[in-house]
Structure 1
Amino acid sequence: MATPDFIRELRVSAGRQLLFLPGVSAVVVDDQGRVLLARRADTGGWSIIGGIAEPGEQPAATAVREVEEETAVLCVPERVILVQGMEPVEYPNGDRCQFMDICFRCRAVGGEARVNDDESLEVGWFTLDALPPLEDFALMRIKQATEGGPTWFAGMQEA
């Protein structure tokens, strides 16, 4: 994911210290039940769509913006499927971040899936029985989105 300008500005005064940032991800499903995925330019791996909320931006609006920016697909958020604080990460330049991910199930409503920015190498629709190799991060979110369970909150015990 590209570093937003507001984070670059923060880094001027914050240096490499740990920043806690609002992350948003989206499991976009079309009318055929397929899931929208992108093969990331930074890792080469396939994943769901995600990004960082801009200052003052609501999380659902971030999901819609990120999906359109990265894939040219228009979508509508239907529900929150997961809220999870992620483990801190350290980037090769020494910057440290910890993301709070809010994941939405979204319904595709228009656009044609294609690479729409420099963050993705490929974009495509996949049936659940033909998903490419994915990290647990994406698999868990796809499962939550397609099985219709309640919102999952990290660290909470089931009743």
Structure 2
Amino acid sequence: MGMSVTISAAAAEDTEQILKLQYLAFQREAELYGNYRIQPLTQTLDSLKAELESDTVLVARLGDEVVGTVRGSVDEDGTGKIAKLCVHPRLQGHGLGARLLRAVEEALAGHAETTRFRLHTGHKSESNLRLYRKAGYVQVGGRTASDGVRLVILEKEADAADFAVSA
């Protein structure tokens, strides 16, 4: 019988695996934009450790291997900001990204002040845009990142009823 993928909070000992996975998973994005200076590829181990301490960081595991990750935080305006969703290339296209997205939304919805979710992706990243639109996100704007990539900003309302825990 095969192993199933589980999603849980990241632990400090996951930091190096997360950074390696992020570097591997974002290669396709870097190639798409012809830009290897995108933030997920230049992030340092220390800044990832800081995110682990301050943000919600989830990992998907297949056995002991981290095969997916996503981060989120809630700002003072009640916006759940979701970032750096990535899945190991060999597991992409099997719904794991959607599971991670739903899990981080549920975790951020646990904050009483969360009213909406916001995330961004590159304007050429069609598979990402498709995933986010399927999950209910709509484009609300755009901007150019410090690395020069044009980003699409997407949001959706955080409907508490969608995240109610069943007894």
Higher strand share: 1
* Structure showing greater relative contact order (alpha-carbon pairs closer than 8 Å, 6 or more residues apart): 1
